[in-house]
Structure 1
C-alpha cells in the first residue's frame, strides 16, 4: 500500500481512544483525516459519484481544512461519531427528515467503501445486541450466566427459585438515562432481591442474571485476533458489582487469556464479521472465565494507560495494512 493513502477516523472530537490511534498513525507517517459525522452537513462537504462502469463510489470528502478522495482511502476507523446536526434555520418536520437523510448518506456511503474497517457500523449494530450475544457466545464455546428477560413477576420469581442464589439486573440496552436537569445518569448493574418482585416489573423489560462469583473481572480488548486482557480487582462492594460505579476502588493488572477462551473469542468475532471488540468477563474462584457482554465500540484507552498493553498500536497495524 502507498503511504499516501489516508485513513479516515470518524469519531467525536473528545475521544481518547481515537486520539491514541491517530497518534500511532501519525508516528508511522500514515495520512489521517479525522472528522465527526455531527459536523455534516454544516462544515463537512461530500461530493461522491458512482458511474455505470466504476467499481465504487468516487469523490471528495472535505472538512474545510483538509480533504480526501474516497477512492484513495485505505481504511476507516469508525468510533461512535455523533449524528449529523442540521442548521437551526431548518424548521420541523423538515429538520428531522434532513438529519435522517444526512445520517443515512454518510453512513451508507462510507460503508460502501471496499476497505479495512474497525468496525463497519452495519456489523457493529448487530454485534451490539446483548441477548443475541449470549447465543453467539454459547455457540462459540464461552460460558455465560443464566439469564432471563421478562416483564412477568411470576416468571422472575420462578427464575430466582431455579437459580437459588444471588441475582443482578442490568439494562438490555446500553446508554445513559437523561433527566430533566440536563444530566445523564448511568443505569448500573445492581443486585436485586426476589422478595421485592411485584407488579412494577410489568412496566418494562428487565434483564435478570445469576450473579457470578468473582476473583476479579477482565476487560479483554480484541483487535484483529490480538487479545489484550486487563484485570480489574474491585476493592469495594460497588466496584465488585459494577466496576464503572467506583473507579477509585479498582486495582488494575494484566493476565494471560486461556487458550480455550482465546479460541472462542476469535470464533465469536468471526461470527459477526468484526475485528474489534471490548469484552467483559468475570473470572471465578475456580479460574473459569464467564462472558458477560461485548461492546463493539467499547472504551479501551484506560486499559492501555493503566497497563501499557499496546492496543493503539494493534489498531494502527490493522488500519495501516500491516496484517494479512
Structure 2
C-alpha cells in the first residue's frame, strides 16, 4: 500500500544514487516534512500521473510503488539532474522517441504548473544561468572582480589576446564537456595553461574560452542557499590542482572561511539577476586578498564540501525547501 502525501510535500527529483539528495531527504524527515523522492527515468513505466484541469490549477496524483502525492499540495521541488523518462522497448521508432517526448512534456510540464511551489531550480532557469559567457558580464555589473576573457575560434585573435595579457593564459571549457574515465575516476575537460606559440588553425574547429591567469593564494567554493553562505577555502597540494582543483581531488584540503561584505553583496545581486535561490560559486583569492569570480554552477555539487568541512548545507537546503516560498 502506498503512503499518501496530501499536503505540504517536497518533491526530490533526482537519480537513484545521489548522496547529496540523501542528506537533504534526511533533513526534511527530521523536520517532519513529507517527501516524495523519485527519478523521472522511472516514468511512465514505474510511476503514474493523473492531473486534471477545470478552471483552476492542475490537481491530481503522482504515484510510484511507495508513495503518492497530491499535486496541488506540493510546496517545493528539488531538481537534481534526473534521468529522462524511459519508454518501453516494445514501442519502436519513430513512435518510441515521440512517446518519450510526450512523457517528458506531460510530467515536467505538470510539475512546472504546480501552483506556488518553490523550485531549486527549474531546468530552464538553471540552463540560462549556467552559460559562462552570460555569467561574467553580470558578475562584473554586480561589482565582482572577474578575469579578462576571450571567446574565439580565430587563432590570430587568441594569440593577440595572449600578447595583450602579457602573462600566463589559460584555456577552459565553456561547458562541462564530455566525460571520460581515467584510473577509474570520472573526469571532465580540465582548465590548462597554454603556450601561445602552440595556437594554430585547430582553434577554428570550435569556440574556445581563454582567460588571463589569476595568481592564487587559494580558491574558494562558495555555496549559497537562499541568502545563507557557506564558504570553504580549497588549498591545492599538487601542480595539477593549482591549475584546476577538480583534476586532483586527493591533493586538496579544505577550510571554512568568511565571505567579505562586498563579495556577499555582489553574489546575492548575481543570484537575484537570474532568479536563483542556490548557486555554487568558484573564486580565486589572490595573494593580496582579492576575490575573483570564475563561474557559478546553478546546480553545482555541495556534498563534498559538507563532508570535508561540516558546513550545514543540507540543513539549509531542507529549511529552504520546507519554507516553500517561491
SS at match of 2:84: coil
Report the CA distance shift for 1:88/1:29 in structure 2 as closer, same or farther (over 3 A): same
- Cα distance, 1:100 vs structure 2: 2.2
Output the CA distance in 1 between the equivalents of 2:132 and 2:90. 39
Q: What's 2:276 paired with?
A: 274
Q: How far apart, in 2, do the equivalents of 1:257 and 1:31 lie?
A: 34
Task: Give the structure 1 partner of residue 189 of structure 2.
Answer: 187
- The 5 Å alignment of 1:157-306 reads 157-177=159-179, 185-306=187-308
Superposed displacement of residue 15, structure 1 = 1.2
Query: Contact 2:223–2:278 at 8 Å: present in 1 too?
Result: yes
Matches of 1:109 and 1:307, distance apart in 2: 38
Q: 1:104: how far off?
A: 2.5
- Equivalent residue number for residue 5 of structure 1: 8
CA distance in 2, matches of 1:203, 1:223: 39
Residues 111 and 121, structure 1, Cα contact 8 Å, conserved in 2: no
SS in 2 for 1:14: coil
1:41 aligned residue:
44
SS in 1 for 2:91: coil
Q: Using the TM superposition, give the Cα deviation of residue 108 of structure 1 relative to its aligned residue in structure 2, in angstroms.
A: 2.1
Counterpart CA distance in 2 for 1:109 and 1:213 is: 48
Deviation at 1:224, TM superposition (A): 0.4
- Equivalence for 2:135: 133
Deviations 1:18-57 (A, max 9, x none): 1110010011111100001111111111111111x21x11
Moved more, 306-315 or 84-93: 84-93
- TM-score, scaled to structure 2: 0.93
The CA distance in 1 between the partners of 2:103 and 2:130, in whole Å, is 23
Determine the C-alpha separation between the residues in 2 that align with 1:298 and 1:102: 27
In structure 2, C-alpha distance between the alignment counterparts of 1:87 and 1:167, rounded to whole Å: 49
Output the aligned Cα RMSD: 1.9
Give 1:99 deviation, angstroms. Answer: 1.8
Q: Is the 8 A contact 1:220 1:229 kept in 2?
A: yes
CA–CA distance in structure 2, aligned partners of residues 206 and 174 of structure 1: 13
Among 104, 111, 118, which residue is 2:120 paired with?
118
Cα distance in 2 for partners of 1:3, 1:135 equals 44
SS of the residue 1:169 aligns to = strand
Matched length: 319
TM-superposition CA deviations, 1:147-171 (whole Å, max 9, x none): 1111100110110011111111111
